[in-house]
Amino acid sequence: MRTRNLLAGFALICLLAAPAPAQPRISEFDATIPTFDVSGPRTITESGIYRLTRDIESSETPAVVIESFEPIEVVLDLNGFEIRGNDLAGPLDLRAAEGRIRVMNGTLQTPRRQGVVTGGLARSLELTDVELIGGDYGIEMVLGEALRIQRSRIASHRCISASAPEAWRPAFDHNLFECAWVGFDLQNNVGGRIADNRIEIGPATHAPFNIRNGDGLLFLRNTWTGERSQWAQISCDRIHMAGNRFFGMAFAIRGDGIQFRDNEIDTDIWPAQPRSAVEILGDDVKVRGNRVDAGPWIPGVTVRGDRTQVFENDIAAIDTPALRLYGVDSWMRSNRFVRTSLQPYPFLTPVILADPDSDLGDNLCNGEPCF
């Protein structure tokens, strides 16, 4: 009896320790598709694994074109080699309307006036262990379903410009994005994930980061370095931003059900004052556990919406309110607000501004109970 119990206990432990079944991903291609060697420019029109055997270059057309209006599965294995574009054509052009495409293990490089990866509609695209260098765009295309980038580097004038005629899923993990002008322009996303990236955006337009028309997007543990006077704009319902570190940029976030938690924000000094270091417009918003250090004359956090919850944050501003909260049925708990001043009359600027209907709770303003 004791042996039977031991065996049952061991079986239960093994069952609990067993990994959960892997979820299907766009990289799970049919193992039966054929393999082809690629030693020069090529147009791909059928399913297969295409493996480079040397570096190749574009001529008057892209070096590699993937083109098909039928459902095809293509793995382009760069095999450690490089595809180079020129002033006439980029390295890779995708025209596979129903294609599921994976590019892996190598480098794509082109001069400024070309895009590195361009194309029309592709059902899904995955980049794994790839460097995209140069080009006016790193990626510029329309997607039907998914875009996944893993362990890759994009160093382009504009990193990513992607949209879809219907909802799609972006997923970026463990990458380095070095964007000289525009970082991201993403439209239409559902349930996407942008996590564990180092994102560097150089001198850019007013909104180098623009994500629109989404739902349920996750921003987790990214480190963003921007330039002063950049204002990232995100329009998504139920976005969850957690564990990120932001330097330089300010943020305008639009959407209901937003969770903004455990982030670090340092806006530095701006030549022109933005509306806030972080501005959130939407109902049912939770702001928790963040550290916000706004630059001079930049308001710390502004939330406009009903049923907002603000708790356990450290927010500091200079000669502007650390928090501005507008909306009914909102409350604050255990926050620490600091407003310092470079002016001779600091008391003329309140530490926080809150709607009279808000529950102010047990917060500290410059080390003393608020109000």
Q: Which of 166, 174, 167, 115 is nearest to 148 (CA)?
A: 174
How far is residue 301 CA from its own chain's centroid? 21
pLDDT value at residue 68: 87
Burial 217-240 (b: 16+ CB within 10 A, else e): bbbbebebebebbbbbbbbbbbbb
pLDDT value at residue 273: 61
User: 């916000």: which residue's tokens?
Assistant: 292
pLDDT value at residue 15: 38
Q: Which of 323, 335, 328, 321 is nearest to 363 (CA)?
A: 335
Residue 312 has a CB neighbour count (10 Å cut-off) of 15
User: Where are the chain's structural domains?
Assistant: 28-187, 191-371
Q: Which of 284, 346, 336 is nearest to 309 (CA)?
A: 284
State the pTM of this model.
0.86
User: Is a pLDDT exceeding 90 seen at residue 358?
Assistant: no
Residue 245: CA count within 13 A, CB half-sphere = 6
Phi-psi bin for 334: left (phi > 0), alpha (psi -120 to 50), beta?
left
pLDDT value at residue 29: 57
Is residue 111 classed as helix, strand or coil in its secondary structure?
Answer: coil
Q: Which of 145, 184, 186 is nearest to 167 (CA)?
A: 145
For residue 313, which amino acid is it? N
Average pLDDT in the 294-323 region?
A: 91
pLDDT band at 298 (very low <50, low <70, confident <90, very high): confident
Average pLDDT in the 305-325 region?
A: 93
For 180-226, the pLDDT digits (tens) are: 888 888 888 788 899 999 999 887 666 778 888 888 999 999 998 88
pLDDT value at residue 210: 85
For 232-286, the pLDDT digits (tens) are: 889 989 999 999 999 888 888 999 999 999 999 988 766 556 678 899 999 999 9
For 53-100, the pLDDT digits (tens) are: 999 999 989 999 999 888 899 999 999 999 999 989 999 999 887 889
Q: What's the rounded Cα separation, in Å, for the pair 242 and 218?
A: 8
In order of 161, 224, 367, the CA distances from 50 in angstroms are 26, 35, 64
